[in-house]
Chain A
């Protein structure tokens, strides 16, 4: 697994890391809960046939403390738009997972010219009182890993400090990622995205880990119904949890690449 190229762009005066790897047409990736404390096998899979560009959202690992100036949902959406533009992703294919999926959907809805094809993996943004999503921010510490992934070890491996990591700052960064998600999606994970789903024009793939313990896979249908004209395709990923790209990197990447063509 070779290292990606790392550059930095500024959003609202805060640095955000951008990873780039591979060749071919560009595809952007907005990560889910926890962000990307390290490069992942899933990204290598995408990089085999695409130039994968991975900007860090404000507050997530690599995104410094840029979340601290984002007070409203509009602030967040505009920050993501700037981030995508500065990372050179305007008009490219876009993949978003979990919290990143909600933002990818917003961009595709509000700035339809900005997203060519869209792939959403278990996106946040909706809430169904009759089938509530799990509260990811009210969990006992030892329950988090099993909530995020079908294979809890996959999550633990992603967030464990690498050799030489700063023992003070690393855990603070992991909490910050959780805070950034909470800042945008507290308390229900919902942003009334249903009001804007109908604006999405990009061909869309809705992917869901069949063992997603955070957002029930049945939410895929709610997204599809909301997207009316987009006639999105729904696929589920067996043996995968909420962060399916950690559980099943190859299966998730291949479904996405098949959709993007």
Chain B
């Protein structure tokens, strides 16, 4: 299986009384809480951590896009990814992703992703999320009633921009361009870089991923227990559509805290976990459901109780658990897996096999976790957990992984650390 290291880049210094004094971590979070001089250190720490994850052997490092968000400091994940392309050599770069409807024209995404693919020698995974309501409709002012139509059209345009050899005119419903002809072009051109789709639990998204042969990623912050119903729904739909159960069709996000013992893990990771589930997920309900964001089919499924996610939410126990902000409930709910290396191995194997997920995206930094603790968590996972879970799904081929240039054909990237040492 593939083990991927994901960073959200949370602002790590939200005040203790944040939830009391501020209505939302997202959209209208107050600028007085942001200290650019502190953010300088945060960004540099976060990028160190991503580079460290690559160094210790994770299969991919992952970044994503958020706007006006106190727990996600990457309005442009592409900026981070291009820097990572120069500071890593073999690790896949998973940009998870660019919210297509937010780019005007959307060929900007085709261009920037092609740049990252060229700089990195073909290591890009291209994520195309619709984007959350908070990011797209509120922070970026996109019309919720048009968002999905714009997204789908932008997707078609980006894909054509990557694959058509000649300059073409695009006469879309929302985008008109007389001369589409991007330079540069991606290295991965047979036919294009792997496309992964982070989504919620909607049947339409599952069907679309199956039809297009894309990886579906369920990026929930609530862990494997809450995610089970969604992933079961996904695999049931794949079966209906006659698709195999290749676990590499799917990605799943899981928080982990590993230490020498379970108690030590609790000691280390309680504060950052409670910071994340308390402060970082403090989102004003005003920004949850812009009309039109959820399709009528999904609403209908929800009301009729067919949608697994809605069914979960309707269960009072699950609903209460989803609001958990103290470590006991966070761990009991499965949001964060904690334990000694062997305990984590056991749980990771259980998560991967029960959800049938070949691409496990791990959050080993969360909330206000320090760089030292993050590196400790990352190293211990790489040394003591990874070797005991890598064998999973060995019989399946991962057809959705980047195909970089051969190593001996790639540019030698100067080693920053070595240069410093030489001086």
Which residues does A use to contact B, with CB under 8 Å?
A: 65, 67, 71, 137-141, 167-168, 171-172, 175-176, 178-183, 186-187
Contacts and interface: CB of A to CB of B under 8 A. Distances in A.
A71 B285 contact: no
A63 B303 CA distance: 22
B285 A168 contact: no
Interface stretch (B210-218, B288-296, B340-348, B366-374): B288-296
Nearest to B174: A71
17 contacts: A137-B144, A137-B290, A137-B291, A138-B287, A141-B285, A167-B303, A172-B296, A172-B303, A175-B299, A176-B296, A178-B292, A179-B144, A179-B145, A179-B292, A182-B143, A182-B144, A183-B146
B304 interface: yes
A138 B24 CA distance: 13
- Secondary structure type dominating chain A contacts: helix
A168 B303 contact: yes
Nearest to A173: B296
A67 B303 contact: no
B144 A139 contact: no
Given A137-B291, A179-B144, 15 more contacts: A138-B286, A138-B290, A168-B303, A172-B300, A172-B303, A175-B299, A176-B291, A179-B145, A182-B290, A182-B291, A183-B146, A186-B141, A186-B144, A186-B145, A187-B143
A179 B291 contact: yes
Interface string B147-187: 00000000000000000000000000110000000000000
B290 A180 contact: no
Kindly name the residue among B138, B145, B303 whose own CB sees the greatest number of chain A CB atoms within 10 A: B145
Contacts of A176: 291, 296
Contacts of A137: 144, 290-291
Nearest to B149: A71
Nearest to B27: A138
Contacts of B145: 67, 179-180, 182-183, 186
Contacts of A179: 144-145, 291-292
Interface of B: 137-138, 141, 143-146, 173-174, 284-287, 290-292, 296, 299-300, 303-304
B146 A71 contact: yes
A179 B296 CA distance: 11
A123 to B, nearest CB: 20
Contacts of B286: 138-140
A137 B144 CA distance: 10
B27 to A, nearest CB: 8
Contacts of B292: 178-179, 182-183
Nearest to B143: A186
Contact of B291 (A71, A178, A187): A178
Contacts of B138: 138
A183 B287 contact: no
Contact of B173 (A71, A138, A172, A180): A71
A159 to B, nearest CB: 13
List 9 A-B pairs, minimum CB-CB distance, nearest first. Answer: A183-B145, A179-B292, A178-B291, A179-B291, A186-B143, A138-B286, A187-B141, A168-B303, A179-B145
B314 to A, nearest CB: 14
Contacts of A167: 303
Nearest to B301: A168
B292 to A, nearest CB: 4
Contacts of B290: 137-138, 182, 186
Contacts of A186: 137, 141, 143-145, 290
A71 B143 CA distance: 10
Nearest to A185: B143
A175 B291 contact: yes
Nearest to B140: A187
B304 A168 contact: yes
A140 B144 contact: no
Nearest to B296: A172
A187 B139 CA distance: 10
A69 B5 CA distance: 42
A95 B146 CA distance: 28
Contacts of B284: 140
A50 B284 CA distance: 46
Contacts of A67: 145
A183 B145 CA distance: 5
A27 B371 CA distance: 69
A34 to B, nearest CB: 11
Nearest to A181: B291
Contacts of A178: 291-292
A218 B292 CA distance: 30
A183 B146 CA distance: 7
A181 B292 CA distance: 10
A84 B279 CA distance: 51
A167 B291 CA distance: 19
A250 B141 CA distance: 38
Kindly name the residue among A168, A178, A183, A186 whose own CB sees the greatest number of chain B CB atoms within 10 A: A186
Contacts of B300: 168, 172
Contacts of A187: 137, 141, 143
B303 A171 contact: yes
Nearest to A188: B141
A141 B287 CA distance: 11
A176 B297 CA distance: 12
Kindly name the residue among B286, B290, B292, B304 whose own CB sees the greatest number of chain A CB atoms within 10 A: B292
A261 to B, nearest CB: 38
A143 to B, nearest CB: 8
A138 B291 CA distance: 9
B137 to A, nearest CB: 8
B101 to A, nearest CB: 13
Contacts of B296: 65, 172, 176
A174 B300 CA distance: 13
Contacts of A71: 146, 173-174
Contacts of B299: 171-172, 175
A172 B296 CA distance: 7
A71 B149 CA distance: 10
A182 B138 CA distance: 12
